Amino acid sequence: MATNSGRPPFYIDLLTNTDPMFKTATDSGFTQNVEWHMKKTITRFKAVYNSYPGISYPYPTQTMAFISWNDHKELYFELQDIPSSGSGSHPTWTTGDQAACTAFEAALAASIPV
């Protein structure tokens, strides 16, 4: 399975807001390319909407997300590469608009333990 970009889909499970970590993978069963990420060490996150990313971009719009940790680890991904259904999916992130960026930021903020 591939997304419109030709890249494999990118699944994210934020787990609950009491979990200290969240996980990412390239399959909905979270068995391929699985990575665990510490929530409490996130120093910054943002999603940026670009309504005209250029003709070579695989989607009509760009919704790039960014997460940074205090150990200088960074994660960049296109929100439209997140599947809109199934395990590890986020249908509100895949709409390709500013609302998708806002939904990503709100979900991540809500998942980080205080």
Which of the four pLDDT bands, split at 50, 70 and 90, describes residue 4? low
What are 39-96's pLDDT values in tens digits?
999 999 999 999 999 999 999 999 999 999 999 999 999 999 998 887 788 999 999 9
Domain coordinates in residue numbering, the chain: 11-111
Query: Locate tokens 């150990």: which residue?
Result: 71
| Domain boundaries 11-111, CATH class | mainly beta
Give the Cα-Cα-Cα angle 42, 79, 11 (nearest 5 degrees).
75
DSSP H helical segments within 10-67, as ranges?
none
What are 18-40's pLDDT values in tens digits?
999 999 998 889 999 999 999 99
The pTM of the whole model exceeds 0.85: yes
Alpha carbon distance 30, 33 (integer Å): 8
Average pLDDT over residues 103-109: 96
User: 24 forms bridges with which residues in the sheet?
Assistant: 12, 35
